[in-house]
Amino acid sequence: MKTLAELRAVLGERPWLDEAVAMIRTEPGAIGRLFPAAGRKCGREPLADAPGWSADEAARAVLLGALPPERTAAEVREVYRYGDAAEKQAVLKALPLLAIGGDAVPLLQDAIRTNDTRLVAAALGPCSAHLDAPAWRQAVLKCVFMGVPLSVVDGLDVRADAELAGMLASFAEERRAAGRDVPADALAVLESLREG
């Protein structure tokens, strides 16, 4: 995973971003108007040197990283609360890079409640380790149900357990009864859990 400093370096020369970072350091509340503008100011193209990140996502991570530690959790919550889908996705992606630990959980829970595949997927990154076991299993099952590939689930191999296997098996049975396909990645997980 990239660090915030590495993401900033990959973005190269960005006068708007430097100015925005300076403003947020002085007045953290300024992030409310700067964060939504990041896509228009920094572009949205994928970053070749930071696989999986686009320019706006990286810039937004850098903006969040500029918040003073004592304000980070509160401002991240506000930015997420009032974010559009792209902003919410960027917050979720940046969470592991911000030292907010368990404060991430309500945001993850909100994202998992949505019906937006991008947000559900983004909630299952490294911070999903903070979700308790029942919530995590339900989120994995929701991915299967929505057609989100299970490769987005961080630490799936380590955390998948017999309870999840039971849930996936029931899901597969229901799908087959309806004459519908079961996603191959779900079957693979089920198989490996049975073997284990």
Site residues (vs other proteins, CB under 8 A): 32-33, 36-37, 39-40, 82, 84-86, 88, 114-118, 121, 142, 145-149, 183
Q: Which is nearer to other proteins, 145 or 196 (CB)?
A: 145
CB 66 within 8 A of CB 21: yes
- Give me the least distance between CB of 39 and other proteins, in Å please: 5
Q: Which is nearer to other proteins, 6 or 117 (CB)?
A: 117
- Give me the least distance between CB of 77 and other proteins, in Å please: 14
In degrees, to the nearest 5, what angle opens at C-alpha 120 toward C-alphas 63 and 40? 35
Compute CA distances 168 → 44, 106, 126, 177, whole Å.
36, 25, 22, 14
Q: Which is nearer to other proteins, 56 or 65 (CB)?
A: 56
Q: Which is nearer to other proteins, 36 or 96 (CB)?
A: 36
Residues 6+ apart with CB under 8 A from 100: 72, 73, 76
Q: Which is nearer to other proteins, 85 or 162 (CB)?
A: 85
* Tokens encoding 85: 């889908």
- Give me the least distance between CB of 114 and other proteins, in Å please: 8
In degrees, to the nearest 5, what angle opens at C-alpha 95 toward C-alphas 25 and 188? 165
Q: What are phi and psi of 52, to 5 degrees?
A: 90, -10
- Give me the least distance between CB of 146 and other proteins, in Å please: 5
* Tokens encoding 98: 């911000």
- Give me the least distance between CB of 187 and other proteins, in Å please: 14
